[in-house]
A and B are shown apart, each in its own frame.
Chain A
């Protein structure tokens, strides 16, 4: 019984997606399983910095060199996931001059282009920088969209024959005569794209080799086979601002510390972060002081943040790892390097390799290294080409002119669509006419939403990650139901409602941490709209209560005959044309 594959990859974060792409391109039959959406764990919960290496230029020059190398690779192969913002290391009067010089020298040692700017020059680039910022080092930091990046890797893998299963949780490892031979997987709603309402099922997947790329969850996977993978999860908060106060990545130039980075990301800015070790990667407190800390501390660099609107906060857990016996106390001192654990060598349990530690910027390099390792075991001699071949969507730039002129999108919507879709822009936009905007905060059209539904099934959170729909200032207040409406008629009403509830619950999770000022007004307005206009607090379609259809009149000019038919059509009133 069970399914066979050559390699089973556990974990749909950047590492897992990178590995599955690399293996598939080398002709290996590979399956990836992920317990949530792609990027569900740590990858989807980061600030979106594509490191220039500047951050590690003093403390860890080996990592810094890897970063600048991969930074250049990703600009080439993942252009539609990267925004070339540039970055600044900013020095305030109280920050050490000595460290500033060390940082500058470190960048030069690692071949990271670095230019010193005066305070005035820095403010000419970023007008909202504090007036007492003394100087800055400009480096080629960039912003990367981790969702788009992982999805593009997964799509390329699928194009090369890989099988990608999301909402497929590993519940056990299959061990036969001391060797790991696969895993038992629980599909939340059947195999293939998500379909709410489909009953769950189990599947045993047998593989010649298993890659444990579960990040902060890698220890749990190890436990299934009695292996000790000592990941030390460390939590950090990220706070999302409603608009971009800066268009350049702004780092504080000091040795280490909480709350020292602002990353412009799409329409928003993400403030980060804190660093605190936690016991369980899924169950840890999300505390208000952490949010206050990042806003207050970063306001020293960009004072307008103190007054600016926050739309949500989220926490991520880093999958930090250090070899047994290192015993570092402070999680900020734990290395950001990655480690390949060959359990055959290390624990005398063949059949599985774990990859732990590391960071998004170098995901492709990590994937290449572990793929080399696995291919050697399998006797596959194909070489890696992931540094040279563009990801799907990044073959060429998105055509904004076409989006505007051929498809009639308004310029900012065309611009955003082309940025997100890259070389797929024309194909996706041509698929839908008329093509109204579904999410007006982020400029997402029906065509893009439907394209994402085709990939992700009824999972509206996966649609959100692909399109950014519902990620703007109303946090889905005005578009979540429109997104759900796009599920019809391919998916039934019950699935659409379940998907809508799930999306709203996810949106609420982050907004809970931003309920003051404007976002509180927003939440109250959303509450009123959903409760009153959409009747969500007493919708007979949900409660099963009977409706007195006779109490409705037939509308102006309706024929008596039409009345009967017209009044029973009820349910599907809320379309995509909202406002």
Chain B
């Protein structure tokens, strides 16, 4: 356009905003040329004609907004934060950043802090806190949480659907198991033995920090255990640093202050390890998504970019670092339960380019036949499908996936995302497994 010098190359606009003020994302609207590809990829817009879609929620709303004096439209709370629009956009519009920021502004300014909806959303978003207490008394909690009259009341008064069954809390959390197994010291020894067995340099620096997230800790420790065993099989020493919620359910409920508090802990503990040469590994694709993309987009915390750059999804990491597919193609899964798997790729895995990964890996694995159930969204989107008023939308979105799952022989499903797993189980009654569990079954015996 011109060859005049740009006078202020070091200018960084975001930094000059005082804290706690919504960043100005209007310039992001420059990238939108209104092709509407995002709208045609939005699973909510597909089933709900009243939802104006991501193009409106993102670039249009931001462009029409004025700095302070225009409220965010309440339709933002219908967005499920699946983030499909991000991958769909051919022009790099920061859609989910716009949605997350607008939703936070909506909750901050439009939603009454004394309303039941606010507290329902806050409690759902802070699942970790409830899970923390429940895990102290898992058996009582499991009984109480699914006690009929209580569920009826929660639905009517609080807006948490009674259609779903609360997931069971494990009688032993992942972290309790991890301590029992000797923690980091135990892992170091086992990994060293594995390296020797594999004929690798026994002193090789193979160190990863495991971000297990809340669900693998409190509800499905078998996923965390599979992660530990598979990584140790490849000679990796694990550490399991202090961690809080990744923030995913908080972003989706516009609770950015809560999310930032948790992020500060995660960035600090994971960040120290990154500096020491560890890579951060998550088994939940929404957790890895949060650390990789949402953290640097939404928060300004020391070390956040380094953490984002060094975060991996578990199988993605092994595919890059090890000959994972080679080992799998030489292996056999004996467990007949795993012979037929209906695989659903979570939206957040899709956003990280991981949607084809599990199927490719298991293509040559003897004893396993994994079938894709299509590229639709499961519809639950974390806390979204737990809200009474969103339940029908959630199930309508899920219909396509349920149908395809029914077409697969057997009654076992597979996915990386814990809430997609809930939805898959809820819609079909199938038992749902994590790909790491399949790898564990194939390689670790």
Contact = CB atoms under 8 A, between A and B. Distances in A.
Contacts of A443: 60, 64
A308 B63 CA distance: 13
B392 interface: no
A130 interface: yes
B35 A579 contact: no
Nearest to A415: B70
B335 to A, nearest CB: 46
20 contacts: A124-B18, A127-B17, A131-B8, A243-B27, A247-B66, A292-B1, A292-B2, A303-B6, A303-B11, A304-B13, A410-B56, A411-B74, A412-B60, A413-B64, A416-B64, A440-B56, A473-B30, A473-B33, A477-B34, A516-B1
Interface of B: 1-2, 4, 6-8, 10-11, 13, 16-18, 24, 26-27, 29-36, 39, 52, 55-56, 60-61, 63-67, 69-75, 91
Contact of A243 (B29, B34, B36, B39): B29
B27 A245 contact: yes
B30 A243 contact: yes
Nearest to B40: A579
Contacts of B8: 130-132, 303
Contact of B7 (A299, A308, A525): A299
Chain B CB within 10 Å — which of A130, A442, A579 has the most?
A: A579
A306 interface: yes
Interface in A232-270: 242-245, 247, 267
A478 B17 CA distance: 35
A267 B61 CA distance: 11
Nearest to B17: A127
A230 B27 CA distance: 45
Contacts of B11: 130-131, 303-304
A308 B27 contact: yes
Contacts of B33: 473-474, 518, 521-522, 525
Interface string A288-323: 000010011001100110101100000000000000
A578 to B, nearest CB: 9
Nearest to B25: A243
A295 B56 contact: no
A123 interface: yes
A128 interface: yes
A15 to B, nearest CB: 31
A190 B24 CA distance: 49
The prevalent SS among residues of A at the interface is loop
B13 A127 contact: yes
A422 interface: no
A521 B8 CA distance: 27
A296 B8 CA distance: 12
Contacts of A12: none
B65 A412 contact: yes
A296 B30 contact: no
Interface in A199-257: 242-245, 247
Given A127-B17, A412-B70, A473 B7 contact: no
B74 to A, nearest CB: 8
A441 interface: yes
Contacts of A41: none
Contact of A412 (B7, B10, B34, B64): B64
Given A124-B16, A300-B7, A478-B34, 15 more contacts: A124-B18, A127-B17, A244-B26, A244-B66, A247-B66, A303-B8, A411-B74, A412-B60, A440-B34, A441-B34, A443-B64, A473-B29, A473-B33, A473-B63, A518-B33
Contacts of B1: 292, 295, 516-517
Interface string A118-132: 000001100110111
B63 A309 contact: no
Nearest to A243: B26
A457 interface: no
B381 to A, nearest CB: 22
Interface residues of A, number: 45
Contacts of B73: 410-412
A249 to B, nearest CB: 14
B377 to A, nearest CB: 20
Chain A CB within 10 Å — which of B6, B34, B55, B65 has the most?
A: B34
A306 B2 CA distance: 9
B203 to A, nearest CB: 49
A130 B8 CA distance: 7
Contacts of B29: 242-243, 473
B12 to A, nearest CB: 9
A296 B2 CA distance: 7
A296 B64 contact: no
A306 B6 contact: yes
Contacts of B32: 473
Contacts of A132: 8
A295 B64 contact: no
Chain B CB within 10 Å — which of A300, A412, A415, A478 has the most?
A: A412
A473 B2 CA distance: 22
B16 A242 contact: no
B39 A410 contact: no
B112 to A, nearest CB: 17
B64 A415 contact: yes
A535 to B, nearest CB: 18
B114 to A, nearest CB: 21
A517 to B, nearest CB: 8
Nearest to A120: B16
Given A292-B1, A303-B11, A415-B70, A308 B64 contact: no
B60 to A, nearest CB: 6
A443 B36 CA distance: 16
A472 interface: yes
Interface string A372-416: 000000000000000000000000000000000000001111011
Nearest to B106: A411
A127 B16 contact: yes
A471 to B, nearest CB: 12
Contact of B30 (A124, A130, A242): A242
Contacts of A127: 13, 16-17, 24
Contacts of B30: 242-243, 308-309, 473, 518
Given A244-B26, A518-B91, A473 B70 contact: no
A408 to B, nearest CB: 10
A245 B30 CA distance: 11
Contacts of A410: 52, 56, 73, 75
Interface string A410-449: 1111011000000000000000000000001111000000
A473 B69 CA distance: 22
Contacts of B27: 243, 245, 304, 308
B315 to A, nearest CB: 36
A477 B36 CA distance: 13
A300 B2 CA distance: 14
A425 to B, nearest CB: 15
A256 to B, nearest CB: 20
A306 to B, nearest CB: 5
Closest 3 A-B residue pairs measured CB to CB?
A309-B30, A412-B64, A296-B4
A410 B72 CA distance: 9
B63 A441 contact: yes
Nearest to A242: B30
Contact of A411 (B16, B26, B71): B71
B254 to A, nearest CB: 15
A525 B27 CA distance: 20
B66 to A, nearest CB: 7
Nearest to B66: A247
